[in-house]
Structure 1
Amino acid sequence: MDFPKLLRMLRLDAGLSLEGLAGQVHYSRGHVHNVESGARPATADFAAAADRALCSEGLLEHQWRRDQDRARDAHLASAMTAALRRSRDLAQMPGLDVDDLAADAADLAVEYLSAPPGPMLQQAHQVRQEVTGRLRQRHHRPGERAELYVAAGRLSGVLAYAALDLGDARAAMEHCRAALRCAEFAGDTELLVWVRGTQSLIARFEQDFVAASGFVDEGLQHAGRVPGTGLARLLCGRAQCLANLGDSAGSNAALDAAWAARDEAVGQDAVGGLFTFSAAKQQYYAGSALIWLPGRADNERAAEQAGAAIGLWQEQGPAERSLDDEHLAHVYLATARAQLGDVEGAAAAVEPVLSLPAEMQISWIVKRMGRLAGVLSGPRFAGSRSAVETVEAIRAAG
């Protein structure tokens, strides 16, 4: 039942006419009629007034909020479907014409670091629609083909991240296929390496670490020829795969190799935001890898690296500070501390994440908070009031 139907039912149950309810909520009879018929959306103020007038004890306000959530989810689902359809089109295109929207794609990649994934998915889709619309109408200048390929590829990359953060790994992989196709057409090896790293990330999300390792290997075939941080990112992805497969020595070696690659890198990444691998992100990857290993030394390094990542991000501006990753770093720090037996430290580390609004609770946070709750619910912490309270707070936040 939606808000208009519930409003009508409660009004009739109370024996009130439209005019009678209108007098109590201080809206016109026509306004109340239009809300009941669905011709006019109710506002929060109207819902609160009707709730008081009909003594529904919060029922009407609750239903109004549910309707708002459903409408938002339906709008987002529509955008996701349309974006996915366009990625399939791009993946099948034999070639693209060009436009000069590269700056918009680069700006979205930076903006993504501090914005919820839902709005970012919609914005990236809208910009990419403009790119593909102009190319189909041949509104471009000669010689800009590669630039448009790169812009379309980066926008597809933003869409891949947004889809994954919203929990749809299959859609994320399709957006990556479109991005890879664009990178190949443009001859942009840096973008190609980034896409392979992102495909590995998606496979790791799905816990397919064999496939994830394969994507890393494919990226490494080209990473030595590109400037910037692509090689370091791939090596950190390999470390995550090895840690999840139980290889402590291999994971730590890959992390060490990633720091060496960063030190030896020549040149800068072409754009920032999602398309660069900052030092904070590299420390975050180390923490997120090593928490999957049982050894004390691994968890001590995980805690140190996650904590260092948080410290770096808190000193940076919006163009470099990745809020989602910063929140996850708190979860990884808490997990490492819990596995080291430090319940109070784990509770303190995860506390900033517990109050995040729903739109910031990306799929990675939900998954990793669930694992932290599992660790704290183990027999090791039986009888720990702090562990019980933290698990309760995690479940309430989810």
Structure 2
Amino acid sequence: MVDHDEITAARRALGRHLAHLRKEAGHTQHGLARLVQYGRSSVANTETGRQHPERPFWTRCDRVLRTGGVLTAEYDRIADLHHRRHRLAATPGSINAAVWWEPEDTITARRSALATAADDARLKHLEDEIRQAIADNERYPPGALVARLRPLRVSIDQLMAGRQHPPQRARLYAAAAHLSGLLAALALDLRAFHVAHAYAAEAFDLAHAAEQPDTQAWARATQSLIAFYTGNHRDALAYAEDGLRHAGTGPHRIRLMINGQARALAHLGDRDGVDRAVGRAFDLLAEHPPDGQEVSTSLTLGPYCPTRAAANAATAYLTLGHPTDVTRHLTTAIVAFDTAQLRGPQALSRLDLATAHLHADDPDQAAELALQALALTAEHRFESVHQRTHQFLTAAHSLRHHPQIRDVADLLADRRHPRTAPPAGLRSPT
């Protein structure tokens, strides 16, 4: 009869062989785990013989480590020994004929599946990557970020098809919601408006399914942003107000008030409403002091900073035709955005200030600021910058023959007809 200790020894030897091949290939346990799409603990436990993964694990290791199939072949040999042992144990008259018990390895495999379907290390990697992409959203071209997010989308879909403990499942849904919200903003920048709406709605649905009010508030703020830049200002206001109901006392209230309510109300002509929203937002800044001097990102998972709030207030007051308020709010904001090298805000704040200079009868300075904005985003495709430049040119219509104003118009026309098409939006999972 095949001895149990023989099988155990063979499995440990296979684990040691995996560790040897991994080190020779220059991979850490965490690095190999990412490549074979298992948790780091799975790799570690397998190498020490405490865990016995199924055949797909070994075929992935063979492929990544380019072993020629030696690991899978040894796994198959050990599996054959295991099956022979249990067939003999189940033979009538055998001393081990207690066939009502599940094999020990079946129980171990089930425990492993529960523990490693989405371990903390893999979830943390996804969360960190999504946070970094949100931080890079206004620094790099949207098309480049879309390409960077493709493998994250695949990883999240794989995890969502598996099993996790409830706390891990909640984290996974939050990560999926944040990824969909980020993809919505990128689709907006790339003028894929229907895709943007679909991703933003998906972000809220994921947060709603997970019953996470904070993530729901963040998703509503993103939906408000999409609605604002697609000209649906009443929808933008409605999303912002519903987001505030979910936000409670959380950090997203500032963004919802200043980016959502104030700007939408300005387009609806409600000066008093804008003043109230801006005032409440700045009052809330005292409850959420900034963490250091960094400028918060547009899709921040925390509270808006004073610089971001000031820039959004300036946009609202510009819509109402109050250039003095615009200049007051942008005096320090532009310097902060320049220091942070956030290309989108650098351009948008200059365009708002440029339009304010038009109201102050200073076309030369206005045109110079607009040209700076377009130069800063020459390698990017920001729909918000395109729209704000168009608004600047509309305000400058009576000065359309001014040489520098014509330069702004020509540059905008060139951007509307790029040499290469933007990448298509990612397909939203169903």
> Matched residues in 2 for 1:330 and 1:288: separation?
11
User: Is residue 2:218 matched to residue 1:188?
Assistant: no
Q: Which amino acid aligns with 2:370?
A: V
> Matched residues in 2 for 1:247 and 1:120: separation?
36
User: Is residue 2:155 matched to residue 1:130?
Assistant: yes
Q: Which amino acid aligns with 1:122?
A: A
> Matched residues in 1 for 2:227 and 2:380: separation?
22
> Matched residues in 1 for 2:335 and 2:177: separation?
32
Deviations 1:55-112 (A, max 9, x none): xxxxxxxxxxxxxxxxxxxxxxxxxxxxxxxxxxxxxxxxxx8561222221211122
Task: Give the stretch that moved more between structures: 384-393 or 245-254.
Answer: 384-393
Q: Which amino acid aligns with 2:288?
A: A
Q: Which residue of 2 aligns with 1:233?
A: 255
Q: CA deviation at 1:388?
A: 4.6
128, 138, 154: which is aligned to 1:103? 128
Deviations 1:298-342 (A, max 9, x none): 2111123234221112233xxxx5321221111111112112222
Q: Which residue of 2 aligns with 1:155?
A: 179
Q: Which residue of 2 aligns with 1:206?
A: 230
> Matched residues in 2 for 1:135 and 1:387: separation?
52
Contact 2:347 2:374 in 1 (8 A): no
Deviations 1:257-291 (A, max 9, x none): 110111123897xxx74224232221111122111
Q: Which amino acid aligns with 2:313?
A: A
Contact 1:197 1:219 in 2 (8 A): yes
SS of 2:370's equivalent in the other structure is helix
**Structure 1 residues 189 and 242 mapped into 2: Cα distance closer, same or farther (>3 Å)?**
same
> Matched residues in 1 for 2:371 and 2:400: separation?
21
User: Is residue 2:320 matched to residue 1:293?
Assistant: yes
**Superposition pairs of residues 1-398 of structure 1, within 5 angstroms:** 98=118, 100=123, 101-138=126-163, 140=164, 143-226=167-250, 228=251, 230-236=252-258, 237-265=260-288, 273=297, 274-275=299-300, 276=302, 277-294=304-321, 298-316=322-340, 321-356=341-376, 359-378=379-398, 381=399, 384=402, 387-388=405-406, 390-392=408-410, 394-395=412-413
Q: CA deviation at 1:205?
A: 1.0
Larger radius of gyration, structure 1 or 2? 2
Contact 1:354 1:397 in 2 (8 A): no
Gaps of 5+ in 2: 1-116, 417-430
Q: Which amino acid aligns with 1:156?
A: S
SS of 1:144's equivalent in the other structure is helix
SS of 2:191's equivalent in the other structure is coil
> Matched residues in 2 for 1:252 and 1:148: separation?
38
Q: CA deviation at 1:222?
A: 2.2
Query: How many residues of Structure 1 are paired with residues of Structure 2 in the alignment?
Result: 287
Gaps of 5+ in 1: 1-96
**Structure 1 residues 371 and 188 mapped into 2: Cα distance closer, same or farther (>3 Å)?**
same
TM-score, length of structure 1 as denominator length: 0.66
Q: Which amino acid aligns with 1:329?
A: S
Q: Which residue of 2 aligns with 1:50?
A: none
> Matched residues in 2 for 1:141 and 1:188: separation?
16
SS of 2:138's equivalent in the other structure is helix
Contact 1:376 1:391 in 2 (8 A): no
**Structure 1 residues 106 and 361 mapped into 2: Cα distance closer, same or farther (>3 Å)?**
closer
Q: CA deviation at 1:201?
A: 1.2
Q: Which amino acid aligns with 1:206?
A: T
TM-score, length of structure 2 as denominator length: 0.61
Counting helix residues as a fraction of each chain, which structure ranks higher? 1
Identity of aligned residues (%): 25
Q: CA deviation at 1:382?
A: 7.3
Q: Which residue of 2 aligns with 1:76?
A: none
SS of 2:361's equivalent in the other structure is coil
SS of 2:269's equivalent in the other structure is coil
Two-structure CA RMSD over aligned residues (Å):
2.5
**Structure 1 residues 243 and 331 mapped into 2: Cα distance closer, same or farther (>3 Å)?**
same
Contact 1:377 1:391 in 2 (8 A): no
> Matched residues in 1 for 2:151 and 2:378: separation?
24
Contact 1:121 1:158 in 2 (8 A): no
Q: Which residue of 2 aligns with 1:94?
A: none
